[in-house]
Structure 1
Amino acid sequence: MENTLLKLEQINTHIEQFHILHNIDFEVQPGEVTVLLGRNGAGKTTTLRTIMGLNSATNGTVQFKGEDITKLPPYHIAKRGIGYVPEDQGIFYDLSVGENMRVGMRQEDDATKERMDWVLDLFPDLKKFWKKPGGQLSGGQKQMLSIARSYVNDNDLLLIDEPSKGLAPVVVEKVIESIEKMKEKTTVVLVEQNFYMASRLGDRFYILDDGITVHHGDMEQLREDEELKRKYLGIA
């Protein structure tokens, strides 16, 4: 598609001697949530890390807004407008909520302040515990901080890895609501094992199996395809 925001073509990624991704093809359209699905070890996190330059592709190309970013270092990729929320959240436990937010900022200007105000309205706990060390937050609050820190920059794309992991259902619902609101302002690639969350948020899906793209399409199609969910996701 002409307006494709992110495009991976024939991406192969090795980690040490292990060949993790095999000829991955993957496209993301602006304004949508694209969900990467698959069992543990399928290559979902490695795909996000390869996009960010944290794992190097051994061949193939990653294009963002039409530019080849395959060989760029992570900080250059971030500057081009891609935010990353890692599976382990990546917050600084000894820094306060406010310090964590400021450390993540690329610049401080009126637009950044506007996004900060918006995201603190979205996650009022962060405002409430602004001076509290990140390590003393609950699991859900840490996840909110990690997402908020990536959103506060002027990013065209957010890569979010397993945001529901380890969270209580009521907190998962809050995270779903927050990403639904963020979707109005940015594009999201979501790795998620919780199919309820993935199906609520996703517009399109890609299923990975042993580092290979085995299926993709509109999320509505996957919701109705019981055989596909059983075969690749283990959903009875």
Structure 2
Amino acid sequence: MTLLKVDAIETYLGQYHILQGVSFEAKKGEVTVLLGRNGAGKTTTLRSVMGLAPISDGVITYNNKPIHKLPTYKISNKGIGFVPEDQGIFNDLTVEENMKVAMKKKDDVTMERLEWILKLFPDLKTFWHKKGGYLSGGQKQMLSIARSYINSNDLLLIDEPSKGLAPIIVEKVMRSIQEMKEKTTVILVEQNFMMASMIGDRFYIIDDGKTVHSGDMKELKEDEQLKKQYLGIA
């Protein structure tokens, strides 16, 4: 079942025509990876889905209903979580306060989900009363993902979760996304091809603001020419 469908969207940032025909689908229960070189338009694509970078053309549907004309808060309320590249946590609030601010409800289901999250990210439990600004880069990333996941969102958009992290922390983040895959659908933007190839089910390559290739991640692993041409992987 297709949960999210992005059809030939175009997005301008000021005078710059960033997206010039991006299309992809995210199927329920899968990790869909958006790949491409820096500046290709991957982050703008996620921001366009969330309504943070309004599209000028094309259609975005979620559960077969158009969402591209909705404000960001209504898109979020439909069950789409967003983990931005800059993490988006509140540095002056504790881990506990960051999580409470993110919660839309505080019912039994949410509290059970919080318990599961703290098992998934034990560092957050350890530093529960520590301010976000004092966390390490990896812990901030864990908190950012946890904040988006606490509300039982059916879809998570995660932008560059491994950026700037040590390899051992990248492995923790990767394992967490693999576990979350059992409960939610993920669209992942990731420059770390090793990580993307291990957790992704399907891929779409964006180049100069356009979708140029897509397919099964297993196929991309074996296609050396495609990786070299669009991802710079020799």
Structure 1 length normalisation: TM-score?
A: 0.98
Q: How many angstroms apart in 1 are the aligned matches of 2:194 and 2:47?
A: 24
SS in 1 for 2:2: coil
C-alpha RMSD of matched pairs (Å): 0.5
The answer to which of 126-135 and 103-112 deviates more is 103-112
One-letter amino acid of the counterpart of residue 64, structure 1: Y
The answer to which of 100-109 and 81-90 deviates more is 100-109
SS in 1 for 2:70: coil
- Unpaired runs of 5+ residues, structure 2, are none
Q: How many residues get paired? A: 234
Match for residue 45 of structure 2?
A: 47
Could you tell me how far 1:216 is from its partner in structure 2? Answer: 0.3
Write out aligned runs for 1:83-232 (5 A).
83-232=81-230
Q: How many angstroms apart in 1 are the aligned matches of 2:30 and 2:64?
A: 18
Match for residue 234 of structure 1?
A: 232
Q: How many angstroms apart in 1 are the aligned matches of 2:77 and 2:46?
A: 16
One-letter amino acid of the counterpart of residue 170, structure 1: I
- Unpaired runs of 5+ residues, structure 1, are none
One-letter amino acid of the counterpart of residue 228, structure 1: L
Residues 33-52 of structure 1: per-residue CA shift (max 9 Å, x gap): 00000000000000000000
One-letter amino acid of the counterpart of residue 195, structure 1: F
Could you tell me how far 1:23 is from its partner in structure 2? Answer: 1.6
Could you tell me how far 1:105 is from its partner in structure 2? Answer: 1.0
Residues 84-132 of structure 1: per-residue CA shift (max 9 Å, x gap): 0000000000000000011111111111111100000000110111110
Match for residue 16 of structure 1?
A: 14
SS in 2 for 1:21: strand
User: Are residues 1:61 and 2:46 paired?
Assistant: no
Structure 2 length normalisation: TM-score?
A: 0.99
